[in-house]
Chains A and B, each alone.
Chain A
Amino acid sequence: MGATPNGFNLDTTGRRIVVDPVTRIEGHMRCEVNVDEQGIIRNAVSTGTMWRGLEVILKGRDPRDAWAFTERICGVCTGTHALTSVRAVEDALGIKIPDNANSIRNIMQLNLQVHDHIVHFYHLHALDWVNPVNALRADPKATSELQQAVSPSHPLSSPGYFRDVQNRLKKFVESGQLGLFKNGYWDNPAYLLPPEADLMATTHYLEALDLQKDIVKIHTIFGGKNPHPNWLVGGVPCPINIDGVGSVGAINMERLNQVSSIIDRCIEFNNNVYIPDVIAIGGFYKNWLYGGGLSSKSVLAYGDIPENANDYTGANMLLPRGAIINGDLSQVHEVDVRDPEQVQEFVDHSWYSYGEPGKGLHPWDGVTEPKFELGPNLKGTKTNIQEIDEAAKYSWIKAPRWKGHAMEVGPLARYIVGYAGGHEDIKNQVEGLLGTMKLPVTALFSTLGRTAARALEGEYCGRLQKHFFDKLMTNIKNGDQSTANVEKWDPSTWPKEAKGVGMTEAPRGALGHWVKIKDGRIENYQCVVPTTWNGSPRDAAGNIGAFEAALMDTKMERPDEPVEILRTLHSFDPCLACSTHVMSPDGSELTRVKVR
């Protein structure tokens, strides 16, 4: 088949392996690869097996309600979708938010980053590197010594503590409730940790569970409730009444103190547990530097966390904005999501139709017209696909491109953009980590690099949360208790027609909502979500997407046990619930892995 324009040599002659569905992700996806005689992946195809299109639900609704619908698309990034939605509507209608609202929104958004990164690492991704069954063989005393060496300031490190956890784990496994740890390939040689490291990491799995329950309380405090916190076009829905006691819903000193203590706990956990674990576990896998894919070539970040309210320029963003193409780190390109020539979605290999081939549409002009058809080289039937024909349409995910380039988005993309652009905090963190691990900067372009960037970002976001908390407190003490601007709440103040865009950096990457409003109602609403970028199929020119690229050239220890495929796909923290919709038709629980 030869080289793709974005530089990957595809060869479909080897055995075909089908993984469907890919587990421990949000939503459903299917992945097919061809491996050569050495078990090395030479072709990769990622298929979103669910149908999407939020616009079909929102058409004609009140734009002030859109956040509540977008909050329901997904079980994970509810708040990010809601924030992106209110930003899009505010942009369309020219609504300015108060400073306190900006600080509170940033704290909420950063809270989601911190929460999602910890949960992703310990509860979705760790099992790709950590073997909880092997942890049963660990010596608790040696585990305690390992813990103290890895993180001297973490207080939970006694042999008795690890023995207790090991006993609990043993009881759980022996009762046959392997539930959480099911579908593992626990005797696969791809697992490299000694039992003590497995026990330490599994213990932190439990510690992270306890922490994550507290983290979400911040959403309850500022969002009024959780799950599904409330959002508001024009600001935030929580009034501030700093001297209030027990008043329903209002933010008072007691609640702010609670927020502050949760932020401190997260900072401590990141420093004492998360970062040391990534370094310790990464140390055992230093030679497993597969999975870089597009990260060494083309990455994109919209930027987020505006320092000052209502200024959405790149320079005002604490998480960086920019694009890097063709691996040239010396140039960070400016990104303008309003420009009809920059962000475009293509459907040549997606189950949609634009009426003509090779056409790209900017999201403001996006259409969702399903067209399900399969290529002539399909193996199987329409309702039971054995092997997809990637030369034809093969995914429910559209193919977004930035100036024609397939891009990777997410923590690693943000960190590469920040590193290349000289972002001080990011540069210091990255250089510190690479120095500690004695790795060159090119090691970033890997599955582990993606996992490490997420950990660094979690730590940085924790610090930023504290920054905005202090900023909020200062502003309140100076007498500003305003949290919402309702000047343009009434639709009679709106123009007859308007369009706007909202951008955020969701935990898993750049997220944009584009809205068109007409006569006070939603005329068109398009979301381009992170997993649309990363899970993108090929385009008309043959460029492969980020998942596909990242799987290329990986060596599989046992082709019928897709540990390596899962490892790399999970490192993106994929969330297909919003990029596509549901489900394998027979609802089968176990991943089917077929080697053909």
Chain B
Amino acid sequence: MSANTPDRVLILGIGNVLWADEGFGVRCIEAMADRYAVPPQVRLLDGGTQGLYLLPFLEEADALIVFDAVDYGLPPGTMKIVRDAEVPAFMGAKKMSLHQTGFQDVIATAQLLDRCPSRMTLIGCQPVELEDYGGGLRAEVAAQIEPALQVALGELAGWGIAVRPGRSTGADLADPSIRRGVYEAGRPSEGEACRLGDDRFFPTVA
């Protein structure tokens, strides 16, 4: 550890697990808790789409890592990392879902209160598919979970925090019934439950 090491780090996954690749951030947190034992000053949090509810967690942190599905205008499945002042801009660059505006506002609010983490890293993945209510991660996006975790570990290492393989039992994760495996395996079939919708929002459906 160095003098530069943050006292408290928040690793946050945001997004709505019910909307296919929108769940990327939350699934990264699950995977991280499952494979790594983070030290006590690091908090893993499934933030869902909670907006202002996340403010207290942000305020408590000196450094923040966010996993999220982000529309960078890049090829689907591409990962991109942005840091610090760039973070809010990217989260609002092109609004893909409610929580992004919500989270941008959370950062702005933390700044207004002068309690925003001094270091922020956004680990974003360009989604393949969002418009699939009840669907899970597409293969290209799921394949980015492990690389995303490696990026997070790299950030932590850069801040002087070492993480060992293992499990993080204290993490704030989703209820077991909607974690990735159970959620994706338990989906009703297309025959049972219609997946069609508005042409404007389900453009790829024939």
Residues of A within 8 A of B (CB): 26-28, 50-53, 55-62, 65, 68-69, 71-76, 78, 119, 123, 168, 172, 177, 179-180, 206, 209, 212-213, 216, 225-228, 230, 351, 368-370, 372, 382-383, 396, 577, 581-583, 585, 587-589
Contact = CB atoms under 8 A, between A and B. Distances in A.
Contact of A370 (B56, B104, B178, B198): B198
Contacts of B111: 172, 177
Contacts of B76: none
B98 A27 contact: yes
B53 A226 contact: yes
Given A69-B178, A179-B108, A213-B56, A228 B48 contact: yes
Q: Chain B, interface size: which category?
A: 35 or more
A386 to B, nearest CB: 13
Interface stretch (B127-135, B140-148, B153-161): B127-135
B37 interface: no
A177 B108 contact: yes
Judged by DSSP, the binding face of A is loop
Given A172-B112, A583-B201, A585-B201, A227 B192 contact: no
Interface string B105-125: 100110111100000000000
Contacts of B200: 382-383, 585
Contacts of B16: 72
B51 A75 contact: yes
A372 B201 CA distance: 11
B186 interface: yes
B83 interface: no
A372 B198 CA distance: 6
Nearest to B178: A68
A212 B194 contact: no
Given A56-B134, A72-B48, A206 B113 contact: yes
A396 B188 CA distance: 22
Given A76-B51, A589-B94, 16 more contacts: A51-B198, A58-B188, A61-B186, A65-B178, A75-B50, A75-B51, A78-B48, A177-B108, A179-B104, A216-B53, A227-B53, A369-B194, A383-B199, A582-B19, A585-B201, A588-B95
A75 B99 contact: yes
Contact of B193 (A52, A56, A577, A589): A56
A189 B118 CA distance: 40
Nearest to A583: B97
Contacts of A75: 48-51, 53, 98-99, 102
Contact of B52 (A206, A212, A581): A212
B168 to A, nearest CB: 14
Contacts of B94: 587, 589
